[in-house]
């Protein structure tokens, strides 16, 4: 069995060669809601996401489409590896196997309640595939069959993949085909037959139960796609590949210290001290919005302030204190830093304290309990086991200083440090800064 390298456009799309047939992995799986109009729905989804090759899976519980693009080096007539296995192994299983004896290359496919699970149709390293298998297990999914290689040491039984890829077992429905506009003649005939069956049928208790389970499965598949999209956005913003576990790490989805300081400072340092008789009082930035407070003096008016600021801020001023103070808001958008390895807590606490003591600062560092959320139970399934204890510690840091934050903490040699808020208050002739942040360690 030969494995081809992924294309540059979609790194997860790869192909396997076996006995003259080509099998594709890394499809984007999406549930289709319409029984009679599922091909129209598939064409619309493909058009919106620039995907022009598809395979359709129909089971009593779900209609599901797997999408890919010609630009990934995929053509019609190739076979979906996940569809091929799903058509033979049933509605509840997970399988992983080694696809190359010379390289660290494993494949994984998972099916639950008839639906292929997004993110579990790919070829990757042994470490990544083990993570995908462990992730499904941690969510409490009870697969009927576990086909896992012995070297994973995760139970189950090995899968003889070659048994399922022989030409005699391949069906037309496993093939990939191009998406085209309009309905084919065969589709029109199928539409008419289905309409007759639906019109003459009576929906009973079994069908209703199947419908409910199908809807729940669609929700889970959609939720998994949201996770994959969130991971893709994180990779795009951080500029580097991210493990799946990054979605569970709060620091991975927050901006770096330098990004936070630069984004906030770009607004704060350009705020005027006086706007037509309204004087600057304080400002705070939380990484998403800068809010500056001004107070009225003399005979200045709110109308004069509104005229003076024009459309410089994201929202109209919010007046308070009987109209004698106002809050001006400016929205900002900062890229996330992505995942980073953790260091031992005694070491990072000592380094951070020492760094700030060098600036004559006396920070407060308090540990914050880490609560791991409990996964909800699937319909008809027992409650999943309690989540494992957290693998990290969370500390809140806070200090007040007359030194600008860019100087006091911008170059601190701490990797997994994130800022939550910086606040500046004008006291007589100088600014006093209050910095609040989060430190993560193991």
Distances (CA, A) of 181 to 31, 43, 255: 19, 7, 43
Q: Is residue 376 part of a domain?
A: no
Give the pLDDT score at 171. 94
Q: Are residues 303 and 400 in the same domain?
A: yes
Q: Are residues 21 and 96 in the same domain?
A: yes
pLDDT in tens, 180-192: 744 455 555 665 6
pLDDT in tens, 51-66: 999 999 988 888 999 9
| 8 pLDDT above the threshold of 70 | no
Q: Are residues 308 and 427 in the same domain?
A: yes
Distance CA(346)–CA(321), nearest Å, equals 46
Q: Are residues 75 and 224 in the same domain?
A: no
Q: Are 177 and 54 in contact (CB under 8 A)?
A: yes
Contacts of 195 (CB under 8 A, 6+ apart): 36
| 203 pLDDT above the threshold of 70 | no
The DSSP result for 51-113, as a single string, is: --EEEEEE-SS-EEEEEE-GGGT--TT-EEHHHHHHHHH-SEEEEEEEEETTTTEEEEEEEET
Q: Is residue 268 part of a domain?
A: yes
Q: Are residues 25 and 87 in the same domain?
A: yes
Alpha-carbon radius of gyration of the chain: 28
Q: Are residues 232 and 304 in the same domain?
A: no
Band (381; pLDDT cuts 50, 70, 90):
low
Q: Is residue 38 part of a domain?
A: yes
Q: Is residue 124 part of a domain?
A: yes
Distance CA(410)–CA(264), nearest Å, equals 12
pLDDT in tens, 304-327: 999 988 877 877 899 999 999 999
Q: Are residues 424 and 275 in the same domain?
A: yes
Q: Are residues 33 and 173 in the same domain?
A: yes
Q: Is residue 5 part of a domain?
A: no
Band (2; pLDDT cuts 50, 70, 90):
low
Q: Are residues 164 and 234 in the same domain?
A: no
pLDDT in tens, 35-45: 777 888 898 99
Give the pLDDT score at 6. 41
pLDDT in tens, 335-352: 999 999 999 999 999 999
pLDDT in tens, 274-284: 999 999 999 99
Q: Is residue 9 part of a domain?
A: no
Q: Are residues 67 and 160 in the same domain?
A: yes
Q: Are residues 167 and 301 in the same domain?
A: no
Give the pLDDT score at 126. 94
Q: Is residue 6 part of a domain?
A: no
pLDDT in tens, 69-111: 999 999 988 999 999 999 999 999 999 999 988 899 999 999 9
Range of the domain at 303: 249-369+390-441
Quick one: what percent of the chain has pLDDT higher than 70?
Answer: 89
Q: Are 283 and 264 in contact (CB under 8 A)?
A: no
Q: Are residues 116 and 214 in the same domain?
A: no
Q: Is residue 279 part of a domain?
A: yes
Residue 9 sits at φ, ψ, to 5 deg, of -75, -45
Distance CA(113)–CA(310), nearest Å, equals 57
Specify the number of domains making up the chain. Answer: 3
Distance CA(65)–CA(77), nearest Å, equals 16
Record the pTM: 0.55
């Amino acid at each position: 069995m030969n494995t081809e390298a992924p294309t540059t456009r979609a790194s997860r799309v790869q192909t396997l060669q076996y006995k003259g047939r080509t099998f594709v992995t890394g499809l984007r799986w999406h549930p289709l809601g319409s029984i009679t109009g599922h091909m129209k729905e598939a064409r619309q989804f493909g058009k919106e996401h620039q995907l022009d090759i598809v395979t359709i899976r129909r089971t009593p519980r779900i209609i599901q489409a797997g999408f890919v693009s010609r630009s990934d080096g995929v053509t019609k007539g190739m076979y979906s590896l996940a569809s091929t296995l799903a058509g033979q192994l049933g509605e509840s299983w997970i399988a992983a196997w080694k696809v190359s004896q010379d390289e660290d290359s494993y494949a994984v496919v998972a099916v639950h309640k008839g639906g292929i699970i997004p993110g579990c149709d790919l070829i990757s390293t042994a470490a990544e595939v083990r993570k995908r298998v462990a992730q499904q297990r941690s969510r409490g999914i009870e697969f009927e069959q576990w086909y896992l290689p012995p070297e994973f040491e995760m139970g189950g039984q090995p899968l003889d993949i070659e048994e399922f890829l022989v030409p005699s077992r391949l069906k037309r429905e496993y093939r990939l085909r191009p998406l085209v506009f309009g309905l084919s003649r065969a589709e029109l005939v199928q539409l008419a037959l289905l309409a007759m069956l639906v019109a003459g049928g009576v929906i009973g208790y079994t069908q209703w139960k199947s419908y409910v389970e199908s809807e729940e499965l669609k929700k889970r598949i959609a939720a998994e796609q949201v996770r994959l999209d969130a991971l893709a956005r994180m990779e795009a913003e951080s500029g580097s590949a991210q493990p799946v576990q990054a979605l569970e790490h709060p620091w991975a989805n927050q901006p770096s210290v330098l990004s936070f300081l630069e984004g906030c400072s770009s607004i704060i340092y350009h705020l005027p001290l006086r706007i037509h008789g309204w004087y600057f009082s304080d400002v705070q930035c939380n990484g998403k919005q800068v809010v500056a407070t001004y107070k009225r003096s003399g005979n200045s008016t709110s109308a004069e302030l509104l005229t003076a600021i024009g459309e410089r801020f994201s929202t109209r001023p919010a007046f308070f204190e009987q109209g004698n103070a106002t809050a001006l808001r400016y929205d900002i958008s900062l890229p996330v830093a992505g995942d980073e390895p953790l260091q031992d807590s005694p070491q990072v606490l000592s380094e951070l304290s020492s760094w700030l003591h060098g600036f004559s600062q006396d920070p407060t560092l308090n540990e914050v309990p880490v609560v791991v959320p409990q996964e909800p139970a699937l319909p008809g399934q027992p409650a999943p086991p309690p989540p494992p204890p957290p693998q990290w510690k969370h500390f809140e840091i806070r200090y007040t200083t007359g030194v600008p934050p860019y100087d006091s903490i911008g170059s601190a040699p701490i990797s997994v440090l994130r800022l939550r808020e910086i606040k500046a208050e004008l006291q007589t002739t100088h600014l006093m800064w209050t910095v609040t942040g989060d430190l993560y360690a193991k």
